[in-house]
Amino acid sequence: MGKDTGFMEYSRKNGETIAVSDRIKNFNEFHKTLRLEEQQKQAARCMDCGVPFCQAGKMISGMASGCPLHNLVPEINDCVYRGNLEQAYKRLSKTHAFPEFTSRVCPALCEAACTCGYGGDAVSTKENERTVIEYAYEHGLVGKKPEGPRTGKKIAVIGSGPSGLSTAYWLNFRGHDVTVYERSDRCGGLLRYGIPNMKLEKSVIDRRIKAMEESGIKFVTSCNIGVDVTKEQLLKEYDRVVLCCGSSKARDINAPGRDAEGIYFAVDFLSRVTKQLLDTDFKKFPYEMAQNKNVIIIGGGDTGNDCVGTSIRLGCKSVVQLEMMPCPPSERVASNPWPEWPKVLKTDYGQEEAIEVFGADPRRYQTTVKEFLKDKDGKLTGVKVVKLSPVKDKKTGRMNMEPVEGSEEILQADLVLIAAGFVGAEDYVVDAMQVAKSARGNVEANDSNYETSVPGIYAAGDMRRGQSLVVWAISEGRQVAKSVDQSLMGYTNL
């Protein structure tokens, strides 16, 4: 423990956030880091707890408490406090392949479980990690070829999202030859086309892909498994195949008028925006997608928030975000004690921007769509919404959200974005690989070795567990790599 009174001497201080009026003019990252001297003080706040919940990654009341990667948080914070960032990177690298991603987009499960957060402000572990990984890149510590002999074993990883990249990273680290297949024109999967540039600049992904290539990993883009390459070809060429294709089948809204022109899945909208930005080197913004439009977003999660921020940057006329569930409390309730994940109201960057630009929080709780309205030409004109009320099911005891009679309201809408989550893996991939599927639409692969119903084919990430956080995908990539290594070598040191 570097400074045993640090948590009493220093208050939490976060890096600068660029003002809303400036940041909505572009798609650049808007959260900055502190100077190293200030970040060292923040690291000094770590108490080096006897029981560090921050790195536990345990399920409590159905939700994760602490980092699923089990990062050595107190040790890393101590190294940052002492200014030994190279050692901090070495400690972080023992468990984590991509701190540059999670330090930007993770909700920081580590901080939610921090003991300092029990009665005050948690240690800024997320920003400490960002300082460490940026130092590592600046000083040439990332991308070195793994030491030791190569095994000669060949593995195909299908999908270059966070789970696929993590799988490839650890298998290559072990000495296997890894080829990653990606159906899109660029690598990154969800990181590339599902998360807007202002949350995760795509140059950060490019930097990591380059480092992975330098370390010996091969990438094949614009190659769709099940279309361009068959299961038989993969099993013939590779010793093992790992499916990391994500859970990309979007949940639809089956309401009258769904066929109206102007309704899109959020992931498609965000992907199109990012692709045009990348294709034009950020010189042309796709304003035509939202400019002067009344935008309705169905879904209150991270993707819905990303759609709010993106729509504002594209000059929307108004934006409303519909959420079926009640508004969470502003503070923890007695039934949600620390170190459980805090089920409290959070106002994310997109909502902050909407409040400043339009003068009101865009979220409408306990509301859902009853009908999409369209004109004689089939173009979307509005949305009929209805309020919902929690009603207890007498048989199951569960609370169901039921429509409130007479609460219908019509909202103007020129663009509707459906951000209602995902319902499993793409059918054509599952069918092509002939692997069993669970009732939830995910690929069946057990928790012990991640192998599917087809010998030699494994699955990890959202494709196996369903829609989840980037940090869980990275964790599953490491776990499946360990299992594949064990199956190939008879033992594993991952």
The C-alpha atoms of residue 69 and residue 225 are separated, in whole angstroms, by 29
The mean pLDDT value for 108-136 works out to 96
Structure tokens at 235: 């099993």
Contact between 162 and 473 under an 8 Å Cβ cutoff? The reply is yes
Report the alpha-carbon distance of residue 376 to residue 392 in Å, rounded: 41
The predicted structure's pLDDT at residue 4: 84
Provide the pLDDT confidence category of residue 24 given band limits of 50, 70 and 90.
very high
Percent of the chain at pLDDT > 70 equals 100
The domains found in the chain, sorted by start residue, are 6-138 (1.10.1060.10), 154-248+423-489 (3.50.50.60), 263-418 (3.50.50.60)
- What is the reported pLDDT for 47? 87
Residue-wise pLDDT tens digits, 365-396: 999 999 999 999 999 999 999 999 999 888 88
Q: Is the pTM of this model over 0.85?
A: yes
Q: Rounded to whole angstroms, how far apart are CA atoms 24 and 225?
A: 38
DSSP state of 14: P
pLDDT at 465 over 80: yes
Task: Copy the structure tokens of residue 254.
Answer: 């089956």
Q: Which helix (H) or strand (E) holds 365?
A: strand 363-365
Do residues 125 and 75 make contact, with C-beta atoms less than 8 angstroms apart? no
pLDDT at 2: 64
pLDDT given for residue 146 in this prediction = 82
pLDDT at residue 51, as a whole number = 87
Residue 1's pLDDT is what? 62
The angle formed by the CA atoms of residues 63, 45 and 349, to the nearest 5 degrees, is 55
Whole-number Å distance between alpha carbons of 156 and 323 = 40
Q: Which two tokens stand for residue 208?
A: 């990591």
- Best CA proximity match to 441, nearest among 417, 469, 421: 421
pLDDT at 399 over 80: yes
For the chain, what is the mean pLDDT?
95
Total residue length of the chain: 494
Band (141; pLDDT cuts 50, 70, 90): very high
Q: Averaged over 141-145, what is the pLDDT?
A: 85
**For the chain, what percent of residues have pLDDT higher than 90?**
90
Please provide the DSSP assignment of 212-257 as one string.
HHHTT-EEE-S--BTTTB-HHHHHHH-SEEEE------BPP---TT
pLDDT tens string 185-204? 999 999 999 999 999 999 99
pLDDT per residue as tens digits for the range 298-321: 999 999 999 999 999 999 999 999
pLDDT in tens, 350-373: 999 999 999 999 999 999 999 999
pLDDT tens for residues 467-491? 999 999 999 999 999 999 999 999 9
What is the distance between the alpha carbons of residues 264 and 293, in angstroms, rounded to a whole number? 14
Q: What is the dihedral of CA 261, 264, 269, 271, to 10 degrees?
A: -120
